[in-house]
């Protein structure tokens, strides 16, 4: 059955349909469902779904359960993305997590080769630690990408290794352990003085939207402090997952 255009006019190209969906997602006041997106842009649900798959793969749209919101490509194009953006939804969570742990907290999204840092909250006392905002971090050296890739289905993990260590067996075992515990811990692999703990935000199994990572001096990640960080991190990831899959009114209560 042919697509029904929103208004009368010449047939829309594949590019038109993709851009219509990107624009609809970007202007929505909250993460939006597939059915609502398809209706807004005048596409059949199946057609919209097929296009959204490609948009998610290319980073223009993020999928959170059965809802969609602007992806990393959109965030990089505009630092002041709409209130529906991942950074806008996550910022209060990052700030509370940073305050609860007295550590730096960053937000990462999965891209080919690792995790892209799209937002950071850094306390003044940790100004000597690089925030890495905008950087693409490889899977084999950082906790955030490890948490994101481990949250994928096992058969989907290999393509995201990018610049991972040559010993794929070790990485495979590490990813399996992170998948089991739900938390990735990195101490001294990238910087001997800095440690980090990360957890993926996964509204639906096998579909991580982003990761929250707590970063600080390695000496402050021992014993009870590490347990506190992990507890606060799990709570923050659950809070963000709930915000991503809630209607706008519910997410702002």
Residue 78: both structure tokens together: 């505009």
pTM: 0.72
Mean pLDDT over 62-91 rounds to 77
> What are residue 185's DSSP bridge partners?
197
CA–centroid distance for 134 within its chain = 13
Mean pLDDT over 63-87 rounds to 74
CB distance 199 to 234 below 8 Å? yes
Cβ neighbors of 232 (< 8 A, separation 6 or more) are: 97, 100, 101, 214
d(CA 106, CA 111): 16
**pLDDT higher than threshold 80 for residue 118:** yes
CA nearest neighbour of 109 among 40, 59, 174: 59
CB distance 56 to 99 below 8 Å? no
Mean pLDDT over 101-126 rounds to 94
CB distance 165 to 189 below 8 Å? no
CA nearest neighbour of 137 among 196, 97, 88, 94: 196
| pLDDT at site 180 | 95
Residue 114: both structure tokens together: 């690792």
Q: Looking at residue 159, what DSSP letter applies?
A: G
- The angle at the Cα of 121, spanning 93 to 137, to the nearest 5 degrees, equals 100
For 141-163, how does the pLDDT look when each residue is reduced to its tens digit (9 = 90+)?
899 999 999 999 888 887 766 54
For 167-216, how does the pLDDT look when each residue is reduced to its tens digit (9 = 90+)?
667 888 899 999 999 999 998 777 789 999 999 999 877 789 999 999 99
CA nearest neighbour of 240 among 62, 27, 72, 64: 64
CB distance 107 to 212 below 8 Å? yes
Calculate the alpha carbon distances from 247 to 38, 66, 67, 168, 196 in Å: 17, 11, 10, 41, 32
Percent of the chain with pLDDT over 70: 86
| pLDDT at site 84 | 56
CA–centroid distance for 77 within its chain = 16
E strand or H helix that includes residue 32: strand 32-33
- The angle at the Cα of 48, spanning 42 to 54, to the nearest 5 degrees, equals 140
CA nearest neighbour of 98 among 68, 78, 118, 122: 122
CB distance 224 to 194 below 8 Å? no
d(CA 151, CA 113): 15
Confidence of residue 27 (pLDDT cuts 50, 70, 90): confident
């Amino acid at each position: 059955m042919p697509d029904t255009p929103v208004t009368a006019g010449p047939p829309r190209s594949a590019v038109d349909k993709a851009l219509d969906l990107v624009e609809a997602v970007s202007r929505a006041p909250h993460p939006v469902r597939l059915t609502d997106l398809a209706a807004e842009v005048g596409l059949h649900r199946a057609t919209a779904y097929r296009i959204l798959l490609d948009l998610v793969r290319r980073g223009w749209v993020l999928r959170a359960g059965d809802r969609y919101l602007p992806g990393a490509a959109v965030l990089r194009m505009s630092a002041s993305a709409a209130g529906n953006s991942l950074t806008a939804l996550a910022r209060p969570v990052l700030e509370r997590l940073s305050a609860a742990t007295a550590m730096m907290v960053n937000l990462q999204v999965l891209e080919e080769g690792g995790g892209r840092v799209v937002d950071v909250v850094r306390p003044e006392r940790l100004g000597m630690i690089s925030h890495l905002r905008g950087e693409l971090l490889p899977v084999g050296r950082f906790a955030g990408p490890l948490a994101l890739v481990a949250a994928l289905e096992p058969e989907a993990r290999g393509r995201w290794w990018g610049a991972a260590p040559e010993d794929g067996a070790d990485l495979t075992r590490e990813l399996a352990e992170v998948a089991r515990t739900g938390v990735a811990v990195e101490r001294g692999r990238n910087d001997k003085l800095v440690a980090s703990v990360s957890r993926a935000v996964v509204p639906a199994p096998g579909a991580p939207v982003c990761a929250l990572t707590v970063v600080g001096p390695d000496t402050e990640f021992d014993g009870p402090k590490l347990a506190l960080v992990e507890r606060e991190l799990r709570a923050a990831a659950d809070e963000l997952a709930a915000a991503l899959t809630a209607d706008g009114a519910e997410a702002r209560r």
